[in-house]
């Protein structure tokens, strides 16, 4: 087994099936189900997917339901890593994110090219604006369902770029330092060197848990940051603690920042490791690449 992808879900009965389908061999391009597995952790969901539903996405899907919910996904992420059979590990801290069709293929390519890559994708939000803003203007699950129907998803996976905007963590463009990723991949040895995800990040949704893991992974000696240039994850609206905190986002951000500084002893800084950009760029993502390059050249 080459790659294990750990996906944490919490009360995502509408969103998780789309995410899991997007990780299946039926949707991912030029990969075989035998080369990777998807481990789904239901983190104390009251409306949970069943084992049969999850395993119905393919023979490479596995399921674990955690009866006792923890507000942060950190414990579930670490448990998923202990269950994983792959030599390389992928993490989706938020199971509401639909993957683009080349995500698995290009992540595998990065591991075959480099000894210690830290592979990331750009996080996108479905809808007309970052969701904490578009929600205030009436964007909701029904509007999102209509958008997905209009592009014929899942038939046209790369058309997701045309109904989404870059997440706030890439507000400065693709070529600026990335704060976090919706799908992050590391070698098992790097994960073990880091001691996994830090469970001291115990805020609902994890606070800066995801940012912390990426920053620490980029600080490991000989690691190479790889950004998958034409791939992404696309966040569905689901009432999440951080991404969909429409009215108290500043309060959540302040709490997360304070907790990070209390744990690490300094304010959070985006990783400064110069990335390698890898992969094909679909036509639908060209406008974002162009605008990012223009911003970087200023």
pLDDT tens for each residue of 264-285: 999 999 999 999 999 999 999 9
Element (H, E) at 247: none
Q: Which residue has the higher pLDDT, 214 or 240?
A: 214
For residue 177, CA distances in Å to 131, 173, 290 come to 22, 9, 17
DSSP percent split of the chain into helix, strand, coil, nearest 5: 40, 20, 40
User: Which of 176, 173, 187, 194 shows the shortest CA–CA distance to 271?
Assistant: 176
Domain interval for residue 21: 3-297
Residue 251: Cβ-neighbour burial (10 angstroms; 0-12, 13-18, 19+): exposed
User: Which of 86, 85, 65, 60 shows the shortest CA–CA distance to 76?
Assistant: 65
Residue 242 pLDDT level (bands cut at 50, 70, 90): low
Other beta carbons within 10 angstroms of residue 268's beta carbon come to 14
For residue 97, CA distances in Å to 34, 93, 160, 286 come to 23, 9, 11, 21
DSSP-derived secondary structure letter, 275: P
Residue 190 pLDDT level (bands cut at 50, 70, 90): very high
CATH of the domain at 60: 3.90.550.10
- Cα separation, 228 vs 280, in Å, equals 8
Locate tokens 């199971």: which residue?
95
The two tokens of residue 187 are: 């070698």
Least confident of 48-62, 199-213, 246-260: 246-260
User: Is the CB of residue 45 less than 8 Å from the CB of residue 9?
Assistant: yes
The two tokens of residue 186 are: 């590391």
User: Which of 37, 12, 9 shows the shortest CA–CA distance to 24?
Assistant: 37
Q: Provide the CB-side half-sphere exposure for 128 (13 A, CA).
A: 10
pLDDT tens for each residue of 111-131: 999 999 999 999 999 999 999
Query: What's the structural domain count of the chain?
Result: 1
Using DSSP, state whether 284 is helix, strand or coil.
Answer: helix
Q: State the pTM of this model.
A: 0.95
Q: What angle do CA 222, 4, 160 make, to 5 degrees?
A: 95
Q: Which residues contact 297 (CB under 8 A, 6 or more apart)?
A: none
Residue 117, beta-bridge partner list? 224
């Amino acid at each position: 087994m080459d790659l294990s992808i750990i996906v944490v879900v919490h009360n995502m009965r509408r969103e998780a099936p789309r995410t899991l389908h997007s990780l299946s061999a039926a949707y991912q391009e030029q990969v075989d189900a035998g080369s990777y597995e998807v481990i789904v952790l239901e983190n104390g969901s009251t409306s949970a997917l069943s084992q049969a539903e999850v395993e119905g996405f393919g023979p490479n899907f596995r399921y674990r339901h955690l009866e006792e919910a923890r507000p942060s996904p950190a414990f579930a992420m670490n448990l998923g890593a202990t269950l994983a059979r792959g030599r390389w590990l992928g993490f989706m801290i938020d199971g509401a994110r639909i993957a683009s069709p080349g995500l698995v293929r290009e992540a595998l390519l990065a591991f075959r090219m480099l000894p210690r890559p830290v592979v990331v994708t750009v996080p996108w939000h479905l809808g007309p604006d970052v969701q904490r803003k578009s929600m205030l203007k009436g964007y909701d699950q029904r509007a999102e369902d209509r958008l997905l129907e209009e592009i014929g998803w899942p038939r046209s996976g790369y058309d997701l770029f045309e109904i989404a905007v870059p997440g706030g963590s890439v507000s400065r463009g693709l070529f600026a330092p990335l704060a976090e990723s919706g799908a992050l991949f590391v070698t098992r040895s790097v994960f073990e060197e880091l001691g996994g995800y830090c469970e001291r990040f115990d805020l609902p949704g994890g606070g800066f848990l995801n940012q912390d893991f990426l920053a620490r992974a980029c600080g490991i000696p000989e690691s190479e940051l790889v950004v998958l240039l034409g791939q992404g994850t696309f966040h569905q609206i689901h009432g999440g603690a951080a991404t969909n905190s429409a009215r108290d986002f500043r309060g959540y951000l302040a709490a997360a920042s304070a907790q990070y500084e209390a744990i690490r002893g300094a304010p959070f800084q985006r990783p400064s490791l110069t990335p390698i950009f890898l992969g094909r760029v679909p036509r639908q993502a060209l406008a974002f690449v162009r605008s990012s390059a223009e911003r970087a050249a200023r």
